[in-house]
Amino acid sequence: MKIVAVNGGPRKGKNTDQMLNAFIEGVREVAPEAEIEFIRLYDYAFKGCLSCFACQLEKNRGEIGCRVKDEISDLLRDTRNADGIVFVSPIYYCNVSAQLRLFWERLQYPGPSRRKLPTALIYTMNANEEQTAQFMGKPLELNSWYLEGCFGEKPETICSYDTFQYNDNVAYTPAFREPAARKKALHDQKFEADLRNAQSAGRRMAQRIGE
């Protein structure tokens, strides 16, 4: 069993990273032998789709995939060949990070996967659940819709709301200093439950693949 973990966040060890680690912990509980390929998108220099349409040429039919050769060519191929894929991203301006969007353009534009495969989508965001539904409901719904079009199934989606971004430190401007204290309290109350949700989703993906 091979699972590819595509991480669209820049910060090591923070909310997004921790949610991904919890998901992988869940996978490993069910499938200790699972091969996990971690792709940290911020480690690569790459562009999004160049609109070259090489992936759609009649002569290339049957070889689904982006034809552009660069640092992520092999990673795109590995992702499409996986048995399961988990995408994680902080929310930046009401959607996933720009890096994950660039990756999705090149992953999805070549067309639907020949095999149905389970995907999971983990978001971490500053907004609470209500604000997320109000401002990000549509973009996040569309992300799921596109992934379903490509991989044949709706992704299981897990959100960690109201995340804690930085310590309450005088180094920050006043506008950023005050919410930090409130966020820390919220984090202590609920982040552990978010991690457990991600872990359960990891278990479910491994179980689905193993069936």
Ligand X SMILES: Cc1cc2nc3c(=O)[nH]c(=O)nc-3n(C[C@H](O)[C@H](O)[C@H](O)COP(=O)(O)O)c2cc1C
Q: Between residues 66 and 140, which has the closer beta carbon with respect to ligand X?
A: 140
Q: Measuring CA to CA, how many Å separate 85 from each of 16, 57, 78, 88, 168?
A: 16, 27, 10, 10, 35
Answer for the pair 199, 23: CB distance below 8 angstroms, yes or no: yes
> Should residue 21 be labelled a site residue for ligand X when binding is judged by CB under 6 A?
no
Answer for the pair 82, 4: CB distance below 8 angstroms, yes or no: yes
> Should residue 11 be labelled a site residue for ligand X when binding is judged by CB under 6 A?
yes
Answer for the pair 64, 33: CB distance below 8 angstroms, yes or no: no
Q: Between residues 53 and 176, which has the closer beta carbon with respect to ligand X?
A: 176
Q: Between residues 183 and 203, which has the closer beta carbon with respect to ligand X?
A: 183
Q: Measuring CA to CA, how many Å separate 134 from each of 41, 163, 177, 191?
A: 28, 18, 25, 22
> Should residue 198 be labelled a site residue for ligand X when binding is judged by CB under 6 A?
no
Task: Tell me the site size for ligand X, rule CB under 6 A.
Answer: 17
Using CB under 6 A as the binding rule, the residues of this chain from 26 to 55 that contact ligand X are none
Using CB under 6 A as the binding rule, the residues of this chain from 86 to 105 that contact ligand X are 90-94
* Minimum separation from the CB atom of position 70 to ligand X (A): 25
Answer for the pair 68, 50: CB distance below 8 angstroms, yes or no: yes
Using CB under 6 A as the binding rule, the residues of this chain from 122 to 161 that contact ligand X are 124-127
Q: Between residues 90 and 202, which has the closer beta carbon with respect to ligand X?
A: 90
* Listed residue (75, 16, 81) closest to 46, CA to CA: 75
The contact set with ligand X (CB under 6 A) reads 9, 11, 14-17, 90-94, 124-127, 163, 165
